[in-house]
Structure 1
Amino acid sequence: MILEKQITIRKLIGALALSLLVSVVYAQNPVFTHVFTADPSPHVWPDDDRLWVYTSHDEPGSNNHYGMTGYHAFSTTDMVNWTDHGRILHLENVAWAESHAWAMDAVYYRGNYYLIYCMKEAGIGLFRTGVARSDVPEGPFTDLGYIKGVEFGQDPAIFIDDDGTPYLFWGHDRQCYGAELNDDLMSIKPETYVDLTSQLTHVFEGPWVHKYNGKYYLTYPGLTPRRWPEKMFYAVAEKPLGPYEFKGCFIDDFDGQSGTNHGGTVTYKGKDIMFYHSAWLSGGLSETRCVMADYLKYDQNGDIIPIVPSKEGLGIAKRTKTTLHLEAENGFAAGGELYNVIVDTWIKDYSGKGYVTNFDNPYDHVSILAQVAKPSKYRFKVSYASPDGESNHDVLINSHQYKDFVFPQSEAFREIDFGIVELKAGDNLIRIFKRNWKPSQGQLAIDYVELEQVFEEENQ
């Protein structure tokens, strides 16, 4: 993920022109238009009809990748309407790390969901491959530590073979390695460690392994040679740890690409899809990237047919739309806070793992983090219950206080639409708190907050 800042004037002009085009033409690329995302890790989990994409997060206005501090999870059932589940792991949740929340992967393994990610170890500055666990795919994830035996463990990817064997791949600065993991995923088996660098022409970082027709495909970003920006290459093997035969480039230079590229593949509803990233959303700024998706196709020999990025992307609909679904009970783990309130479960049919209640004193509150790329308007909805009577609370979004938020009596959880609110670029804290001047008849329970993208024509 090292960034080459010397992008030619021609490419920069092309990127800016493409950005203007994307802004006025309905399109499915970029996939997520409300937040800066990179390094997509796509997956389909057992007994789940959703496609999941896990991403790193770029800070708006950043001019380096040092400011990357957390990860997001997205899901969809139709590739058009997406849910952003918000922050799922952050640097502040990882005691051993100090910076650089770069690329990650995810896996369902033995009944749990794991985020396999990289950060720099505090006091040392060495990249480590971390492991975090959740019992639900949307997180948030709890850090378990880092994988032993992996030195400079940048850009990790995990692959579970058909026999259930877990393999880890990682790479950085023109190097790539692989090894079999032990059952707890917390260490590699040293005897299986392999250096794949010499087998992967132009390799730089970001390996990803998938299986097609019985063969193992290792895709990766590379330089030719050390000429930025990165292209996407691939190699094929008969076994997960190789040896690999280099095949070639399948995503070449394109207008609006970022200095880096990184991605992964998934099969969803019978279609193979390649997720990667560009700089289309930011107008060509390599430090603020966005996720892209195109179909992945093979010829009769099993070779990958080159992908030419286009604004149409998967071409399913005229554009994608994302709703932020933010669970109130996640609190600090998702960038929010629970202040003098509790998480409870006695009111049935809540989403997630519970809801927030016991707003007993003035300024008792729940705060929820929403991250967006640019100043935008969103439709603000809250799922709540107030069994005993009407509840009166205030809502503070950043520094703007919205008063007269009345939650009518409701014994069951229901969703109430509070209309359009404005969010600023970057972090937005949404705080729901007890009024200190007007008593409520009921005890409010907050299940979740939703923020639905509003496009210009919808707001006219």
Structure 2
Amino acid sequence: MTARTTGLLAKSSATLLVGGLLAMLSPSTAVAAPVYGTSEAGNPFVDGWYADPDTEIYDGRYWVFPTTSKSYDEQTRLDAFSSTDMVNWTKHPDVLSTANISWAEYALWAPAPVERNGKYYLYFAANDIQNDSQLGGIGVAVADRPEGPYKDAIGRPLISQFHNGAQPIDQDVFIDDDGQAYMYYGGWHHANVVKLNPDMTSLGTFADGSTYKEITPDNYTEGSFMFKRNGRYYLMWSEGGWTGPDYSVSYAMSDSPTGPFRKIDKVLAQDPAVARGSGHNSVVNVPGTDVWYIVYHRRPLSETDGNHRQLAYDRMYFDADGTIRRVQMQVRDNFADGNALGWKTYGGSWSAGDGRYRVNRSQGGKALLDTNFADFTQEADVTVTSGGGDAGLVFRVTRPSVGLDSYSGYYAGISPSGKVVLGRANDNWTELGTARMPIAPGSSHRLRVTAVGSSIKVYVDDMTTPRISVTDGTYRSGASGVRVFDAAASFDNVAVSPAQ
């Protein structure tokens, strides 16, 4: 089963949406499929610096094969990740390395997985060749299992030269409904499509006798990806410079797998509140549904190293005419994966487990996401587990460090003493407002802050009437996170989104 085509639920099946899983029930089978708004357990969804993710579904398991995001000389190995629920991921290290490819030395890029006739193929680029006299290009490896180990299938590059100006990199393989396999590839602002023969290790020809057909759409840079939905072919690609903030994803649609492909829109770009350099994507369709995710890499806001890229995914939606809506990066973490990837702590002892993020009793311990929201809504389930103080949300934070009020920004918290508090910090504390409400020790409460310009409102449980409403324009943007004061606490279902 592949990740590239969609089918609708059989009319005889019933569906139930429970806890983010679509349970598809039929007389003979029951399977659970992930239906989320984003990676609800947080982006990045795996640990480490990775880029260029490609995806497949093998026997009900979701697979992601990325580039190892290091310097060219260090890019000699590829890892893979697999999951049954797109929440808990298993790492499969070293599925392919240059040690198994006689002609490859470095710059092992953009693995593209596909299964055929019981064999698993992994297409890759190596050596980052700059002209036709250099050894390298696109190769193909094969294995008996999705996790490998993969071995070079033909002992040489499958595509070793520039054709139509396209650097032989960033390949993607797509098998159409009629069984014909295609490979889309290219860098240096040119894209080609080729046919793969049934052996998957040699190139076929088109009806006009050609092997390499140029399909370059407007503003193409690299990173081709093809999928099919409702009989339409979607070509996606990356624009801009891979180290720059303008790196982004656009797409075209066609009635043919070979085009023509005319750009329709840019669907994924940097969000200055969430991440930069978002591109080189793939797409996952949950089998039996019309649920789709865009899987891509992006650079955290605070990172300046071009290779510091991470893997993320968000829901991808279609309009009635088949066009793709622009993707909004979501900021969520329900800690269901048992980790706190993407969080940075300042004081306190923090741990994730059993679907919660916990901190021991601390005088001002805080954990922040690498975000920079100005106008937003931020919320979380907050439980004060011990201590005489409070716990809650910090926002518009800059200059964070370890210490009681060692940051610039705002904090809203709740205390088992029945107090709701809002204040700002700048190495000291200024209280802006308080309210009273019943808060039982150890009870969980939904805490929300909405900040638009200088208007700040704090809600607890009742999301229609604010407990505290103030006007304060001291800080206009910054990171979002959670904090404790003289308390131990746990947090769950953290979410931050632009104000509507």
> TM-score, normalized by length of structure 1?
0.58
How far residue 283 of structure 1 moved from its aligned partner, in angstroms, is 3.2
2:494 is matched with which residue?
none
The letter for the 1-side match of 2:104 is A
1:264 is matched with which residue?
282
How far residue 305 of structure 1 moved from its aligned partner, in angstroms, is 0.6
User: What secondary structure, in the 3-state scheme, does the structure 1 residue paired with 2:64 have?
Assistant: strand
User: What secondary structure, in the 3-state scheme, does the structure 2 residue paired with 1:55 have?
Assistant: strand
1:41 is matched with which residue?
54
Query: How does 1:241-390 map onto structure 2 within 5 Å?
Result: 241-255=258-272, 257-259=275-277, 261-269=279-287, 270=289, 271-280=291-300, 283-312=303-332, 317-318=334-335, 320-321=337-338
2:188 to 173, 194, 213: 173
Residues 39 and 227 of structure 1: CA distance in aligned 2, closer, same or farther (over 3 Å): closer
Structure 2 distance, partners of 1:258, 1:252, is 8
Larger Rg: 2
1:28 is matched with which residue?
42
Q: Deviations over 1:248-269 (max 9, x none)?
A: 1001222364546211001125
1:193 to 212, 215, 225: 212
1:134 aligns with 2:108: no
8 Å CA contact 2:218, 2:263 repeated in 1: yes
User: What secondary structure, in the 3-state scheme, does the structure 2 residue paired with 1:207 have?
Assistant: strand
8 Å CA contact 2:226, 2:235 repeated in 1: yes
Residues 186 and 208 of structure 1: CA distance in aligned 2, closer, same or farther (over 3 Å): same
User: What secondary structure, in the 3-state scheme, does the structure 2 residue paired with 1:92 have?
Assistant: helix
Structure 2 distance, partners of 1:321, 1:243, is 45
How far residue 318 of structure 1 moved from its aligned partner, in angstroms, is 3.3
8 Å CA contact 1:37, 1:57 repeated in 2: yes
Residues 319 and 277 of structure 1: CA distance in aligned 2, closer, same or farther (over 3 Å): farther
Q: Deviations over 1:207-262 (max 9, x none)?
A: 000001100000000139x9853111000111111111321100122236454621
The letter for the 1-side match of 2:86 is M
The letter for the 1-side match of 2:45 is V
Q: Which has the higher contact order (CA 8 A, sep 6+)?
A: 1
The letter for the 1-side match of 2:99 is E
8 Å CA contact 1:257, 1:284 repeated in 2: no
Query: How does 1:54-69 map onto structure 2 within 5 Å?
Result: 54-59=65-70, 64-69=71-76
Residues 176 and 203 of structure 1: CA distance in aligned 2, closer, same or farther (over 3 Å): same
1:429 is matched with which residue?
none
How far residue 297 of structure 1 moved from its aligned partner, in angstroms, is 0.8
Higher fraction of helix: 1
Query: How does 1:157-172 map onto structure 2 within 5 Å?
Result: 157-172=172-187
Aligned pair count?
Answer: 290
Structure 2 distance, partners of 1:205, 1:101, is 15
8 Å CA contact 2:249, 2:266 repeated in 1: yes
How far residue 101 of structure 1 moved from its aligned partner, in angstroms, is 0.7
User: What secondary structure, in the 3-state scheme, does the structure 1 residue paired with 2:258 have?
Assistant: coil
> TM-score, normalized by length of structure 2?
0.53
Structure 2 distance, partners of 1:297, 1:140, is 35
Structure 1 distance, partners of 2:55, 2:100, is 23
Structure 1, unaligned stretches of length 5 or more?
1-25, 323-376, 379-456
Structure 2 distance, partners of 1:90, 1:42, is 19
1:207 aligns with 2:227: no
2:19 is matched with which residue?
none
Structure 1 distance, partners of 2:285, 2:137, is 29
8 Å CA contact 2:238, 2:249 repeated in 1: yes
Structure 1 distance, partners of 2:299, 2:146, is 27
The letter for the 2-side match of 1:38 is A
Structure 1 distance, partners of 2:296, 2:128, is 27
Residues 85 and 149 of structure 1: CA distance in aligned 2, closer, same or farther (over 3 Å): closer
Q: Deviations over 1:127-146 (max 9, x none)?
A: 41110111111111111232
1:425 is matched with which residue?
none
How far residue 187 of structure 1 moved from its aligned partner, in angstroms, is 2.5
8 Å CA contact 2:72, 2:106 repeated in 1: no
8 Å CA contact 1:282, 1:288 repeated in 2: no
8 Å CA contact 1:153, 1:170 repeated in 2: yes
1:359 is matched with which residue?
none
Residues 234 and 181 of structure 1: CA distance in aligned 2, closer, same or farther (over 3 Å): same
